[in-house]
Amino acid sequence: SYQYDSLGRRVAKQSEIKGQTAHKRFLWQGLRMLREESPGQSSLYIYEPGSYAPLARVDEKEGEVENKVYYFHTDQI
């Protein structure tokens, strides 16, 4: 199931995986999704300055020393 705020942005998700309930929260900065958070893990989104175009996602896991960075690549054909 999902929860939305008054602006229609998804702020929470609850799902069942292999009999266990998983919770995820979504944090927003204006109309840009800033973070996704779930127990033990979070993802930070980095945007192009002054735009809504995401550049990268930084994943942090509890207990891990290094964060993982994933870059978004889009083709404007």
* pLDDT (tens digit per residue) in 9-57: 999 999 998 889 999 999 999 999 999 999 999 999 999 999 998 999 9
The predicted model scores a pTM of 0.83
Beta bridge partners of 17: 20
Check residue 73 and give its pLDDT. 87
Q: Where are the beta strands (DSSP E) in 1-77?
A: 2-4, 10-17, 20-29, 32-38, 41-47, 54-61, 68-71
